[in-house]
Amino acid sequence: MTTQAVTDIKELVGEMPARGCECDLNTCQHGESCSRTAAWVARMHVKKASGAHTSQVIAICDECLAAVRQRLARISSYGLTCSCGIPASSVGDLLGPVMPL
């Protein structure tokens, strides 16, 4: 998309509204959704409360993203495999891509 097209869309629609952080995946110190404004959108491999595994896209703030990356780096340093069979040999196996909002 050209710069002019993006500018035209912004003029017609406006800026994207701020989104709250959706880090309620028990992966950071907050435990439930934090109240910060999300700065990123990321695809994450998660295990839901039901036990099902999925790849989920969430809006996430800087602090929660750093906490998630740190936790996944510890997990991947052991070269573990998720119980669903996905190898966790690097952070990128379980998180990514990460794009700015």
Q: Which has more pLDDT, 98 or 11? A: 98
Residue-wise pLDDT tens digits, 20-35:
888 876 556 655 667 7
Q: Does the pLDDT at position 6 exceed 70?
A: no
- Domain of 56 in residue numbering reads as 17-100
Instruction: Domain count for the chain, please give it.
Output: 1
Judge whether 3 lies within some domain. no
Judge whether 2 lies within some domain. no
Selection from 96, 51, 54, 48 nearest residue 72 by Cα = 96
Residue-wise pLDDT tens digits, 66-84:
988 988 898 888 888 888 8
DSSP label of 84? T
Q: Which residues contact 73 (CB under 8 A, 6 or more apart)?
A: 91
Judge whether 36 lies within some domain. yes
Contact 95, 56 (CB under 8 A): no
Please report which helix (H) or strand (E) contains residue 100, including its range: strand 95-100
Judge whether 4 lies within some domain. no
Interstrand relation of 95-100 and 40-47 (parallel, antiparallel or unpaired)? antiparallel
Contact 39, 20 (CB under 8 A): no
Q: How many helices (H) and strands (E) does the chain have?
A: 2, 3
Looking at residue 62, its pLDDT comes to 93
User: Is pTM beyond 0.85 here?
Assistant: no
